């Protein structure tokens, strides 16, 4: 399934001045946003996509499935196959007044290339990238469901979180300073350090906005949540705790992160679990991806209390799978990194424990930030709408704000998954 980190392809690590993937790159076209029919006409000019779809353009259908905030996504079906096409718009799809550079699909394609050697088939296959159109053509996950919807409707299979923890562990190790010489890490990090627009969204929406009373992008159920929101926005001690997490996010380049790992960034079909939507990728602390994801499981449990035991089990499994995957790579001694050059696979148990504790601290803190921002910030989660009634929804949101605040404040004392589960 996966290749050892020592195989990490040099072309990903090569230093370039652009964000273009080395492969899957087609001719560059002039940008125009596609509709279903103009997209079909364009795909008909690509021989490899044409043969994948089968037949002629007249036989094909395109259906828009965009449900995220940022981009348009179409599924195009032909006589013998189908593809998924994702295109950036020069603005935020759900808020056209909010201008946004187009380059995000290029970073998404780059992320797919950067992680695929380490994680194999856990992402959709990239078929084609048009850098001028800012268009990705990729594998259509036709039988998969977006995990968030699968959770809300209760159809997600128990144990789904194992594959996602494994993904974070394998991708996290493969792009770490343990696996790669620092020259390679710098090259990849430099590439993703140009992902400015989406990193700005994270810095604003996750790490800043919810704690500022004057931010017009926040919204919450008023007056029911007013007391908790005011407390978040007026507590200087809490703001210092947020600042520590800002430092962890901005000043700790541990591994290449997905950067937006929530339950809407996972598609699932039985035990086939795929991670999508890596457009926010950047170097940062692994606990950012872990904390974001597990916070989304917590919110599902709060909104649908009948899922509480299930989500608790998934969170424990998520962490243990991450831990196992990361340590497995570390302990097999395939790393070529300058970090650990003296100890390698013989790193002491104490050193592994120290590392995991630090990742847990980060996970707890970033989970706290995610709980808060998805409850009162610009981009909220659909799980709350699945609450039984308005009272239950308010109760779920209150729990998320109280837990989020507590995790942010106590993050650096939470050493184990058991301690984290006690908090939530």
Ligand X SMILES: Nc1ncnc2c1ncn2[C@@H]1O[C@H](COP(=O)(O)OP(=O)(O)OP(=O)(O)O)[C@@H](O)[C@H]1O
Which residues fall within 8 angstroms of residue 186, CB to CB, at 6 or more apart? Answer: 15
Q: For ligand X, what does the binding mask look like between residues 208 and 247, x meaning CB under 6 A?
A: ----------------------------------------
Q: Quick check: 108 binds Mg ion (CB under 5 A)? A: no
Q: Quick check: 362 binds Mg ion (CB under 5 A)? A: no
Please give the residue whose beta carbon sits closest to ligand X in the complex.
68
Residues in the chain: 424
Q: Quick check: 250 binds ligand X (CB under 6 A)? A: no
Judged by beta carbon distances under 5 to 8 A according to partner kind, the member of Mg ion, ligand X, none in contact with residue 73 is: ligand X
Among 43, 62, 84, 417, binds ligand X (CB under 6 A): 84
Q: Quick check: 118 binds ligand X (CB under 6 A)? A: no
**CB 228, min distance to ligand X, A:** 26
For Mg ion, the binding residues in 233-292 under the rule CB under 5 A are 277, 279
Nearer to ligand X, 94 or 346 (CB): 94
Please state, in angstroms and rounded to a whole number, the distance separating the CA atoms of residues 180 and 339: 9
**CB 82, min distance to ligand X, A:** 9
- How many residues sit close enough to Mg ion to count as binding (CB under 5 A)? 3
Give the CA distances from residue 198 to residues 203, 204, 359, in Å, rounded to whole numbers and listed in that order: 9, 10, 23
**CB 94, min distance to ligand X, A:** 8
Please state, in angstroms and rounded to a whole number, the distance separating the CA atoms of residues 47 and 127: 12
**CB 278, min distance to Mg ion, A:** 8
Nearer to ligand X, 92 or 187 (CB): 92
Judged by beta carbon distances under 5 to 8 A according to partner kind, the member of ligand X, Mg ion, none in contact with residue 257 is: none
The H or E element spanning position 159 is: none
If DSSP codes are grouped into helix, strand and coil, which group holds residue 393? helix
Nearer to Mg ion, 277 or 289 (CB): 277
Q: Quick check: 277 binds ligand X (CB under 6 A)? A: yes
Peptide bond just before 223 cis, omega within 30 deg: yes
- Which of these segments, 67-75, 163-171, 243-251, 330-338, binds ligand X (CB under 6 A)? 67-75
C-alpha R_g of the chain:
21
Burial pattern 79-88, b for ≥16 Cβ within 10 A else e, equals eebbbbbbbb
**CB 348, min distance to ligand X, A:** 40
Q: Quick check: 197 binds ligand X (CB under 6 A)? A: no
197 neighbors 103 (Cβ within 8 angstroms) = yes
Burial pattern 382-420, b for ≥16 Cβ within 10 A else e, equals bbbebbeeeebbbbbbbbbbebbbbbbbbbbebeebeeb
Judged by beta carbon distances under 5 to 8 A according to partner kind, the member of Mg ion, ligand X, none in contact with residue 264 is: ligand X
Q: Please report the sign of the dihedral spanned by the C-alpha atoms of residue 270, residue 273, residue 274, residue 278.
A: positive
Judged by beta carbon distances under 5 to 8 A according to partner kind, the member of Mg ion, ligand X, none in contact with residue 276 is: ligand X
Please state, in angstroms and rounded to a whole number, the distance separating the CA atoms of residues 401 and 152: 20
Torsions phi, psi for 208 (to 5 deg): -135, -60
Q: Quick check: 199 binds ligand X (CB under 6 A)? A: no
Q: For ligand X, what does the binding mask look like between residues 251 and 270, x meaning CB under 6 A?
A: -------------x------
371 neighbors 198 (Cβ within 8 angstroms) = no
Number of Cβ within a 10 Å radius of residue 240: 10
For ligand X, the binding residues in 125-154 under the rule CB under 6 A are 138-141, 146
**CB 279, min distance to Mg ion, A:** 5
**CB 266, min distance to ligand X, A:** 10
If DSSP codes are grouped into helix, strand and coil, which group holds residue 146? strand
Q: Quick check: 131 binds Mg ion (CB under 5 A)? A: no
Which residue, among 178, 232, 170, has the nearest Cα to 376 in the 3D structure? 232
Q: Quick check: 278 binds ligand X (CB under 6 A)? A: no
Binding site for ligand X (CB under 6 A): 65-71, 73, 84, 86, 124, 138-141, 146, 264, 276-277, 279
Binding site for Mg ion (CB under 5 A): 68, 277, 279
């Amino acid at each position: 399934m996966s290749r050892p980190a020592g195989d990490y392809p040099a072309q990903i690590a090569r230093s370039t001045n652009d964000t273009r993937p080395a492969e899957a790159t087609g001719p560059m076209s002039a940008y125009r946003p596609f509709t279903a029919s103009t997209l079909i006409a364009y795909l008909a000019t690509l021989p490899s996509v044409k043969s994948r779809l089968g037949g002629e353009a007249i036989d094909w259908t395109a259906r828009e499935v965009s449900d995220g905030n940022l981009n348009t996504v179409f599924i195009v079906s032909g006589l013998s196959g189908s593809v998924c096409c994702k295109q950036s718009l020069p603005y935020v799809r759900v808020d056209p007044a909010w201008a946004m550079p187009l380059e995000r699909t290029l970073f998404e394609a780059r992320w797919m290339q950067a992680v695929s050697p380490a994680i194999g088939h856990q992402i959709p296959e990239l078929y084609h990238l048009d850098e001028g159109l800012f268009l990705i053509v990729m594998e259509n996950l036709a039988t998969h469901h977006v995990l968030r919807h699968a959770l809300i409707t209760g159809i997600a299979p128990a144990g789904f979180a194992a594959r996602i923890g494994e993904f974070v562990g394998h991708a996290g190790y493969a792009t770490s300073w343990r696996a790669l010489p620092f020259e390679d890490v710098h090259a990849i990090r430099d590439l993703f350090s140009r992902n400015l627009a989406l990193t700005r969204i994270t810095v604003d929406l996750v790490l800043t906005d919810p704690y500022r009373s004057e931010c017009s992008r926040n919204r919450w159920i008023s007056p029911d949540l007013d007391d908790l929101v005011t407390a978040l926005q007026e507590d200087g001690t809490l703001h210092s705790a947020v600042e520590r997490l800002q430092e962890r996010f901005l000043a700790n380049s541990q591994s290449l992160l997905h950067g937006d790992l929530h339950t809407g960034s996972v598609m699932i079909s039985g035990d086939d679990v795929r991670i999508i939507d890596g457009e926010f990728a950047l170097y940062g602390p692994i606990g950012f991806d872990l904390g974001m994801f597990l916070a989304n499981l917590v919110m599902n449990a709060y909104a649908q209390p009948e899922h509480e035991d299930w989500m608790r089990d998934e969170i424990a499994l998520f962490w243990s799978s991450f831990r196992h995957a990361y340590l497995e790579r570390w302990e097999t001694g395939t790393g070529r990194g300058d970090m650990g050059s003296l100890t390698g696979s013989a790193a002491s148990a104490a050193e592994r424990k120290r590392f995991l504790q630090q990742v847990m601290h980060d996970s707890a803190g970033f989970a706290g930030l995610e709980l808060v921002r998805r409850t009162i910030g610009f981009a909220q989660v659909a799980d709350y709408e699945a609450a039984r009634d308005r009272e239950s929804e308010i109760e779920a949101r209150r729990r998320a704000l109280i837990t989020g605040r507590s995790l942010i404040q106590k993050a650096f004392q939470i050493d184990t998954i058991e301690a984290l589960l006690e908090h939530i």
